[in-house]
Amino acid sequence: MTTLATTIEKIEARTPAHRDRAIDGLRALALLAVPTGHWLLGGFTLDDGGALHNASPLATFGGFAPVSWVLQMLGIFFLVGGYASVLSYRRRKSTTAAWLRQRVVRLGRPVLGVTAVWAAAMPLLYALGVPGTTLRTGSTLVIQPLWFVGVYTVVTALTPYCVRAAHKLGGWAAAPLLASVAVVDFLRYGPYADTMPSWLSMVNILPGWLFAYQLGVSWGEGRIGRRGARVLLIGGTLLFAALLVVFHYPASMVGVPGETRTNSHPPSLLVLALAAAQSGAAILLRDRIGRLLSRPALWAPVVVINLCAMTILCWHQTAMLATAVPASFLGPVAGLTTSPDSLGWIVARLTWMPLFATLLVLIGRYARRFDAPWQTGTRASKARRAAAGLLAAGFAVFALGLA
């Protein structure tokens, strides 16, 4: 307890007075929602050969879909990302290209690390008897959250344009993005859906996730105040309800095995409605959150979570697999390798989640080295980066089913 109290005091003492604690708190909340959602809504089934397959409790318990509304907080993450990026962009001491390069490298190092480690580990796991189907299931889960990093990198590159749009249109700069997604949704779900090409839905990827980021940029530029936040909260909530009740959008914010329509991959208009409502609520609650986090005991874990952001995103699925894969050799294990189709499974999964979190902390102690800057200039460092790149590329090809 003495050590914990000392750590909290050190974190508080090292926090600059100008630090916006509310923004960090919102980012931490959105970060924690990612592993919580994946651990709670992602299950496995075990086939006759002992291999793991992905499954979801939402396929059986459709009434639990509102849980995904709470856990789908990527809108908040992009909102905060836009807000923080515009502040960083203002303070840059180099060119825009150098600023962007620095941010991209910071995002890319951890992704390269986790994919390279998995690529190197898979032959060993296969030699130890892990079925190839299990390895493919695991690789799919590992790479699943990493799409976010790629999209986030692209929207970050658009920061200068988002700033210009915010100056010209204020909070309404995000409206064309909403309209774009609405048009694509109408084409792919409306009366002419059968004549539309299959790739049309992919058009929603960029405007769908840029929407909340643009709101964050406009907020950071002081172009969205409390009045605009109320419009976002009320308008987003009404649109969300209309899409569910009138237009019969799928209720789940995550993909459900067996369902032909999904909201998140790529994002549908329902995702943007939720992001608008969440963004409005976040802006309205900012001052309260900041006052709450002025307490050192609450602020310290927020700092730790933010420092470990990429570790959490990149390695949380590995923590779950580190439990489920060994359990698959034991046969059906409640909450791990049994079908997620009963309330008993949900209770069992909740009891496993503290173990997942503990394993993530242990993995993070070693994985955080991938966040550190690379050594440059030596042949050895160049060779390690090249090897890591080749391993990561090989893993991506395998995980995406291209080989």
Give tens-digit pLDDT for 79-126.
999 999 999 998 888 898 999 988 888 888 889 899 999 999 999 999
- Check residue 305 and give its pLDDT: 94
Least confident range from 6-15, 46-55, 261-270, 365-374: namely: 365-374
Average pLDDT, the chain: 91
Give me the number of domains the chain comprises. Answer: 1
Residues 6+ away with beta carbon under 8 Å from 244: 251, 270
Comparison of pLDDT for 398 and 31, the residue scoring more: 31
pTM to 2 decimal places? 0.92
Q: Among 110, 31, 115, 128, which residue's Cα sits nearest to residue 73? A: 31
Per-residue pLDDT, 187: 94
Residue 35, pLDDT > 70, answer yes
Q: Residue 400: is its pLDDT beyond 80? A: no
Contact 283, 82 (CB under 8 A): no
**What distances in angstroms separate CA 87 from CA 19, 142, 162, one per listed residue?**
12, 32, 13
pLDDT > 70 fraction of the chain, expressed in percent and rounded: 97
For residue 214, what are the domain limits? 2-15+23-399
C-alpha distances (whole Å) from 139 to each of 19, 22, 43, 49, 160 are 38, 35, 15, 19, 35
